[in-house]
């Protein structure tokens, strides 16, 4: 049996590192007929037969772009691709009574409207008090048996980003949903308050996003594609306030800090985004009253002004299209109203 192959591509998403991984192999010309599960088991490190079987059941193993079952026989020059979903890095997660706004739940998944100042997953500097600790508590309190105790992440949003988040309740559901995220078929729309008056009513930002070469905690845009991963953000102006603009952002990809990095790249950083330079006055007058107004706005929303407003996907079991909307949080509503009133009472200030 020929055991040669070519690994064409191996990719982990930036924003959901360790949540999904993509492999693409081309079987050698001398490849003997071999079940695809054994083919993958021989070629991918640290993957179990059960994981491969779950992935095949979810429809995430493809040969020549067609989904196959685990018993498909790989032939010479077949192109085999697979999208694996992975649980977060092993870490002890114990129940903590942290409030959660769960807006939908069934046997396979739940949707929650995440509040600000809540880290999604334990990590460096945040070993508890996270959304997963809150989910573990929710499942205990509701008498639900979840295999890992806290659910399966399929995507993440930043600590201070509010809005809709999807969590799977079993590994099969996670695997099916992971494919939708990987193929960018998940519909995600955000609303954000950004500095500056956009020239166009709508547009598209294209530019690879990767860790900054100067500051590893933030992301940079590399237009030439020399570093990072492809990222596409579509935006549409919802309301103009002269010095800031309320915009809707639709993601085609889901990179770490994608909207925040893309908006900074086009010189429209998010309002009060300390990591990307939005926490200082970038547009406006030098009047003392204006500076005080901005300070009051920053106090009203002491975080970057970004909200995950809508989420659409195909249910992993029923295969029905599901769509959810969430209202803007009180802080973003309040600061938007402040700007709305400001330009009404001081229309001349826009030119000031």
Quickly list DSSP for 77-88. Answer: T-EEEEEEE-PP
Of 37, 78, 158, 331, which residue is the catalytic one? 158
Dist. CA 248–CA 285, nearest whole Å: 26
Which residues lie closer than 8 Å to 104 by C-beta, 6 or more apart?
110, 111, 324
Cβ contacts of residue 106 below 8 Å, gap of 6+? none
Closest CA to 102 of 148, 151, 135: 135
Torsion sign across C-alpha atoms 335, 337, 343, 346: negative
Judge whether 158 counts as a catalytic residue. yes
Q: How far apart are CA 175 and CA 169, in angstroms?
A: 11
- CB < 8 Å & 24+ apart, contacts of 278-281: 278/194, 278/195, 278/304
With helix as H, strand as E and coil as C, how does 41-72 read?
HCCCCCCCHHHHHHHHHCCCEEECCEECCCCC
DSSP 3-state of 234: strand
CA distance 277 to 269: 7
**Catalytic amino acids?**
158
């Amino acid at each position: 049996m020929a055991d040669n192959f070519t690994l064409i591509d191996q990719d982990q998403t930036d924003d959901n590192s360790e949540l999904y991984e993509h492999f693409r192999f081309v079987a050698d010309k001398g490849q003997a007929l071999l079940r695809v599960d054994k083919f993958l088991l021989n070629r991918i490190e640290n993957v179990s037969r059960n994981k491969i079987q779950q992935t095949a059941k979810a429809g995430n193993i493809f040969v020549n772009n067609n989904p196959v079952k685990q018993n498909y026989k790989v032939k010479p020059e077949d192109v085999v691709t697979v999208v694996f979903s992975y649980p977060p890095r092993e870490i002890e997660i114990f129940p903590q009574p942290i409030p959660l706004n769960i807006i939908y739940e069934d046997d396979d998944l739940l949707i929650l409207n995440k509040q600000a100042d809540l880290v999604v997953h334990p990590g460096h500097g945040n070993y508890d008090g996270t959304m997963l600790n809150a989910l573990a508590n929710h499942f205990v309190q509701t008498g639900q048996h979840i295999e890992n105790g806290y659910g399966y992440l399929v995507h993440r949003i930043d600590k201070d980003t509010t809005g809709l988040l999807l969590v799977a309740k079993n590994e099969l559901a996670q695997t099916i949903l992971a494919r939708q995220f990987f193929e960018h078929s998940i519909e995600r729309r955000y609303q954000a308050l950004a500095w500056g008056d956009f020239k166009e009513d709508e547009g598209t930002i294209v530019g690879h996003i990767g860790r900054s070469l100067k500051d590893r905690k933030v992301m940079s845009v590399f237009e030439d594609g020399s570093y990072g991963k492809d990222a596409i953000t579509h935006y549409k102006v919802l309301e103009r306030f002269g010095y800031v603009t309320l915009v809707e952002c639709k993601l085609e990809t889901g990179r770490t800090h994608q909207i925040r990095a893309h908006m900074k790249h086009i010189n429209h950083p998010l309002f009060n985004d300390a990591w990307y330079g939005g926490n200082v006055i970038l547009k406006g007058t030098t009047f003392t009253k204006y500076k005080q107004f901005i300070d009051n706005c920053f106090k009203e929303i002491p975080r970057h002004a970004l909200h995950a407003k809508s989420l659409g996907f195909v249910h992993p079991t029923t295969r029905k299209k599901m769509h959810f909307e969430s209202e803007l949080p009180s802080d973003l509503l309040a600061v938007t109203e402040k700007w709305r009133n400001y330009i009404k009472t001081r229309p001349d200030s826009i030119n000031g």
